[in-house]
Chains A and B, each alone.
Chain A
């Protein structure tokens, strides 16, 4: 087996670390989680010359080795644990050429740990325009390592970088800053107590925030017995350390970096003047949101219709081709119909992830954080809550994880609790199909489609519910916590196609696979429950024929009657009838009731469930939409999905907490079952009451 070199990719946020990772690994990467925590773990393989391979791990972005969040803690845990199987043979520290000073702070810390560190200065393509020049040879001499200029945009410098990785054993591991200069007396005592340990490593372990006490100390365990300084003294020492590091860095850069400041007034400040403007800034932000929702509805209807009809024909083809029997029925009616109910929504979901990826990649999202902070604070949120709330329109799970960089616990908790109100992509299938059924296809003012506006209203409703409940929670939650708020305003960048594409593919794939598994399981269960039943179920045709003997029905009508009767007497029909009284006041029948109950696992199951139930209940192959449109309320003789029941359903899905994965993530992020349980109870109650009110008012 070829020897494998473990490489850790480390860097500040916004240095283009991920694009370097993408360049090195191509599509040869896996995204998973660190065991026990929800921090995303990205790793990949890079082929080097001479038959060597590099195993590359893309660590979360961090400004320093002093962790203030779970994500940052991952970096330190790995770098301090020599026994970890991922412990790097060499670290590639990615820096942005325009923020070299700040980026070098982290570099010096890593080098001081005794880990060979290559400095990769990214975005080298910007140097000429910004009139920046770096004396590489001098920088290498001062930092005692190898330095390489790379440009992930132009794919330059990566061969040199790979060559450096191969030769990593020749790199010096001499520290940049001698840790004991921070406080000679204190470090002298430390040295005496632990003569065999690396001083800087000891210092890092001592200063890690108590919140992240899980640090694998191993042999360093005895540190607990060492008398440490008070917390405020430690922080004073950390400030001294930071100053010492910047002194070193300033000295290095004075000799190696030149920037022609005449060129500094640029594109960035001009763009900032508009995008963070007191009036235009907000107008542009809302304009962008509006555009996104119009696009999602208008553009994706074409591929959607295509997928819908393809699945109907596939189902029919399976039925006609395979030998008749239970298995064919299960495949055609259960599995294919159920999966069709989710695959149809790939276009919208991909569009949504695309827009969010572009907003993040371009650096625009930080401007929104800046603009919204003051407003959000009034509701007990932080400007940083905007990111979870906007990305919550894709999926609440990553959105809740994105709350980690909110410094204040109260603001963070409130954000976590209200994020599930935002309209996630799993609600989209339900919204789209109901809107298509009950909202007329008209244009308002000639340009906006009424259906698109309805969808936009539902998104606004989600945001409104989130903001309003945040305000309530802020009033009633009695939590004291310090409010800090520091947000970097990165440079504007034209999003790189490759990065955006990988994000969109990765996220869409995991959405479809994740939902697909649940839907597959639920479809099978539903199909079995709908296809078998006790008592009358088995004599269905005899009973119906006897009942209908006086009416002269055609063969076809009789078949439909039998199928409907069977469905009602099946196991699922019996269960549905049992819950019908609870959902009837909301305007639903037992079939919708079953779909709602099954979608407590995941919202998007709703459409698949109805598709499966209707498919079992009828002989013809049809699209999901046509089937739903054909459903009739037997008492009133009107369509089942009319304006009143449609609006009631839309509102129910807008407020209800129907996602087990979200509850699990909330449990993990808040470390208690208390908060997810509150979420489930409160949101479901609101949903029921609002849907009830809407139906009773509109019917």
Chain B
């Protein structure tokens, strides 16, 4: 399964799906929803956490959460 955790810096993808129970509601509210675009802006050492641009919102999440969100490369 290809997830946000696999994305390289600058690469863009579309969010496909995720198990809603695993992802905090706040993340959904900030635009992390199926169909929206996601891009990795920066990554901290060891690629964790990841600084993302999701649907125009800039936010950072940990790799473990990113690994739960399935994507499709653009």
Chain A residues within CB distance 8 Å of chain B:
63-64, 66, 68, 99, 101-102, 105, 232, 235-236, 238-239, 242-243, 246, 269, 272-273, 276, 278, 366, 369-371, 373-374, 383, 407, 483-491
A-B contact pairs, 6 of them (CB 8 A): A101-B57, A236-B20, A242-B28, A373-B62, A374-B48, A489-B59
**What are the residues of chain B within 8 A of A246 when measuring CB–CB?**
31, 33
**What are the residues of chain A within 8 A of B58 when measuring CB–CB?**
488-491
**Which of B21, B25, B44 makes the CB contact (< 8 A) with A371?**
B44
Known A-B contacts A246-B33, A373-B44, A485-B61; A101 and B27 likewise in contact (beta carbons under 8 Å):
no
Q: Nearest A residue to B53 by beta-carbon distance?
A: A489
**Which of B49, B57, B61, B62 makes the CB contact (< 8 A) with A102?**
B57
Check A272–B41 contact: CB distance below 8 A: yes
**Which of A64, A232, A374, A483 makes the CB contact (< 8 A) with B46?**
A374
**Which of A66, A243, A485 makes the CB contact (< 8 A) with B25?**
A66
Whole-angstrom CA separation of A374 from B61 in the bound complex: 11
**What are the residues of chain A within 8 A of B20 when measuring CB–CB?**
232, 235-236, 239
CB of B13 closer than 8 Å to a CB of A: no
**Which of B29, B49, B57 makes the CB contact (< 8 A) with A485?**
B49
Known A-B contacts A66-B25, A102-B56, A490-B58; A278 and B44 likewise in contact (beta carbons under 8 Å):
yes
**What are the residues of chain A within 8 A of B55 when measuring CB–CB?**
101-102
- Min C-beta distance of A324 to chain B, whole Å: 66
Check B31–A489 contact: CB distance below 8 A: no
Whole-angstrom CA separation of A149 from B65 in the bound complex: 37
Whole-angstrom CA separation of A90 from B51 in the bound complex: 36
**What are the residues of chain A within 8 A of B29 when measuring CB–CB?**
63-64, 66, 102, 105, 242
**What are the residues of chain A within 8 A of B65 when measuring CB–CB?**
484-486
**What are the residues of chain A within 8 A of B60 when measuring CB–CB?**
366, 369-370, 373, 383, 485-487, 489
Closest 7 CB pairs of A and B: A489-B58, A484-B24, A370-B60, A276-B42, A64-B29, A485-B62, A487-B60
**What are the residues of chain B within 8 A of A238 when measuring CB–CB?**
25, 28
- Min C-beta distance of A102 to chain B, whole Å: 5
- Flag B21-40 by CB within 8 Å of A: 1 or 0 each: 10011111111010000000
B interface, size bucket: 20 to 34
- Min C-beta distance of B32 to chain A, whole Å: 9
Whole-angstrom CA separation of A66 from B33 in the bound complex: 17
Whole-angstrom CA separation of A484 from B21 in the bound complex: 12
Q: Nearest B residue to A14 by beta-carbon distance?
A: B58
- Min C-beta distance of B16 to chain A, whole Å: 14
Check A63–B21 contact: CB distance below 8 A: no
Chain B residues within CB distance 8 Å of chain A:
20-21, 24-31, 33, 41-42, 44-46, 48-49, 51, 55-62, 64-65
For B29, B46, B48, which residue has the most chain A Cβ atoms within 10 angstroms? B29
- Min C-beta distance of A490 to chain B, whole Å: 7
- Min C-beta distance of A560 to chain B, whole Å: 63
Check A486–B27 contact: CB distance below 8 A: yes
**What are the residues of chain B within 8 A of A272 when measuring CB–CB?**
41-42, 51
Whole-angstrom CA separation of A101 from B58 in the bound complex: 12
- Min C-beta distance of A139 to chain B, whole Å: 17
**What are the residues of chain B within 8 A of A488 when measuring CB–CB?**
30, 57-59
Q: Nearest B residue to A236 by beta-carbon distance?
A: B20
Check A373–B33 contact: CB distance below 8 A: no
Q: Nearest B residue to A279 by beta-carbon distance?
A: B45
**What are the residues of chain B within 8 A of A484 when measuring CB–CB?**
24, 26-27, 65
Whole-angstrom CA separation of A238 from B27 in the bound complex: 12
Check A68–B25 contact: CB distance below 8 A: yes
- Min C-beta distance of B29 to chain A, whole Å: 5
Whole-angstrom CA separation of A102 from B33 in the bound complex: 12
Check B49–A383 contact: CB distance below 8 A: yes
Check A235–B31 contact: CB distance below 8 A: no
Check B59–A486 contact: CB distance below 8 A: yes
Whole-angstrom CA separation of A366 from B44 in the bound complex: 13
**What are the residues of chain B within 8 A of A66 when measuring CB–CB?**
25, 29
Whole-angstrom CA separation of A484 from B59 in the bound complex: 13
**What are the residues of chain B within 8 A of A278 when measuring CB–CB?**
44-45
Known A-B contacts A66-B29, A276-B44, A276-B51; A101 and B21 likewise in contact (beta carbons under 8 Å):
no
Check A101–B59 contact: CB distance below 8 A: no
Q: A101-B56, A239-B20, A489-B41 are in contact. List 8 more A-B contacts (CB 8 A).
A: A63-B29, A102-B55, A102-B57, A238-B25, A484-B27, A486-B26, A486-B61, A487-B60
- Min C-beta distance of B41 to chain A, whole Å: 7
Whole-angstrom CA separation of A488 from B61 in the bound complex: 9
**What are the residues of chain B within 8 A of A491 when measuring CB–CB?**
58
- Min C-beta distance of A275 to chain B, whole Å: 9
- Min C-beta distance of A348 to chain B, whole Å: 33
Whole-angstrom CA separation of A617 from B31 in the bound complex: 68
- Min C-beta distance of A29 to chain B, whole Å: 29
**Which of B33, B42, B64 makes the CB contact (< 8 A) with A273?**
B42
Whole-angstrom CA separation of A366 from B57 in the bound complex: 14
Q: Nearest B residue to A243 by beta-carbon distance?
A: B33
**What are the residues of chain A within 8 A of B27 when measuring CB–CB?**
484, 486
Q: Nearest A residue to B21 by beta-carbon distance?
A: A232
**Which of B24, B41, B45 makes the CB contact (< 8 A) with A486?**
B24
Check B49–A235 contact: CB distance below 8 A: no
Check B31–A374 contact: CB distance below 8 A: no
Q: Nearest B residue to A490 by beta-carbon distance?
A: B58
For B45, B62, B65, which residue has the most chain A Cβ atoms within 10 angstroms? B62
Q: Nearest B residue to A231 by beta-carbon distance?
A: B21
**What are the residues of chain B within 8 A of A273 when measuring CB–CB?**
42
Whole-angstrom CA separation of A488 from B57 in the bound complex: 8
- Min C-beta distance of A60 to chain B, whole Å: 14
- Min C-beta distance of A468 to chain B, whole Å: 22
**What are the residues of chain A within 8 A of B41 when measuring CB–CB?**
269, 272, 489
**What are the residues of chain B within 8 A of A407 when measuring CB–CB?**
24
**What are the residues of chain B within 8 A of A242 when measuring CB–CB?**
25, 28-29, 33
**What are the residues of chain B within 8 A of A369 when measuring CB–CB?**
60
**What are the residues of chain A within 8 A of B59 when measuring CB–CB?**
486-489
**What are the residues of chain A within 8 A of B33 when measuring CB–CB?**
239, 242-243, 246
- Min C-beta distance of A121 to chain B, whole Å: 15
Q: Nearest B residue to A383 by beta-carbon distance?
A: B49
- Min C-beta distance of A71 to chain B, whole Å: 13
Whole-angstrom CA separation of A235 from B18 in the bound complex: 13
Check B25–A370 contact: CB distance below 8 A: no
Q: Nearest B residue to A68 by beta-carbon distance?
A: B26
